[in-house]
Structure 1
Amino acid sequence: MVKLVLKIAADLENLTNLQPQGGCDDPNFSYLFKLRCGNCGELSEKETCVSLADTVPVPHSKGSTNLVQKCKFCAREGTVTMIPGHGKPLTLEDSEAGKFVPLMQFDSRGYELVDFVFDGSWKVESVGGTKFEGVDLSAGEYAEYDEKGECPVMISNLRSTFDVVK
């Protein structure tokens, strides 16, 4: 059993509080990443989608998880369970300090999580108080103009990491 925390960082210009549209524990937000088999080391070709709203029974157990998947190469089964309550928005202060902030924690058994994809709907607010919702980060950046605050706003240099936690 390995617990991993997904951490994100980005360069924010005149923006703060970057997070998934419904917050860090949004049950409808889909986390996309690739999986590396813990048995044979095979890396999945496509991204795997996991969300808090999707639960399935754990094979040969009474528990549930968010993902059960077999490795296409060695046929070994693995699970990924999301553990909410560990995420926080990325603030302008975190961005300026180059800090990575936690977004979601995962209990991964049989798989290593790699290559998080910034997809889905995000929200952020400008330093002038304007809220930007439905932000699409799939292109790797976001740029807009804050009419109320009379300044350009931008998200760029998106980065993520999976850190092992105890």
Structure 2
Amino acid sequence: MVNYMLYISGELENLTNFQPRGGVDDPDFTYYFKLKCENCGEVTEKETCVSLNETLPLPKKGTTNLIQKCKFCKREGTVTMIPGRGSPLTNDSSETGKYAPLMVFDCRGYEPLDFAFSSGWKAESMEGTKFEDIDLSGGDFAEYDEKGECPVMISNVRAMFKVVDLSKKNL
């Protein structure tokens, strides 16, 4: 079992608290990324989608969010999401180039790669205006905050997966 934390970053202009629409542990938010088989090294052609509200029973006990068989070597692997470890990307973190932890994935037989930003994000302006259902599938988001009388933008979004030890408090 290997735990991978998904970290996100980007340039936030006059925005803060960038995260999935329902918060970092939004059960309806769908994560899209490719998977690499740890047995044969094959990478999935298309992104796999995983969300907290979709669970499958495991053969012995418990549940997981994804069971997938490698198309090349036919080995089966699982991805189980572990909520409660994420936090939104703030304006301060963005300005210093830091990444915010978003979600932990317990991967067995697979390694997550190439997270794809899509729709379903939210952020708020420095004046408190809320921007819901931000779509980043095109890469950027730009609007105008009437209350704060300033442009707001999310650009240069980036993501990375890093192996984490959940027994440590500082991820």
What TM-score does the superposition give when structure 1 sets the normalisation length?
A: 0.98
Aligned to 1:62: 61
Alpha-carbon distance in structure 2 between the residues aligned to 1:39 and 1:53 = 28
Identity of aligned residues (%): 67
Structure 2 residue aligned with 1:23: 23
Q: What is the RMSD of the two structures over their aligned residues, measured on CA atoms?
A: 0.6
Letter in 1 for 2:29: F
Aligned to 1:149: 148
Gaps (5+ residues) in structure 2?
Answer: 166-171
- Write the distance in 2 (CA, Å) between the matches of 1:115 and 1:53: 22
Aligned AA for 1:6?
Answer: L
Instruction: Give the secondary-structure state (helix, strand or coil) at the position aligned to 1:94.
Output: helix
Residues 26-65 of structure 1: pairs in structure 2 closer than 5 A? 26-59=26-59, 61-65=60-64
Partner of 2:102: 103
* Unmatched 5+ stretches in structure 1: none
1:2-52 CA distances to partner (integer Å, 9 max, x unpaired)? 000000000000000000000010000000000000000000000000000
The match for 2:9 is 9
The AA in structure 2 aligned to 1:93 is: D
Q: Deviations over 1:109-163 (max 9, x none)?
A: 0000000011131110001111101111111100011111000100000000001
TM-score (norm 2): 0.95
Match of 1:134, SS state, is strand
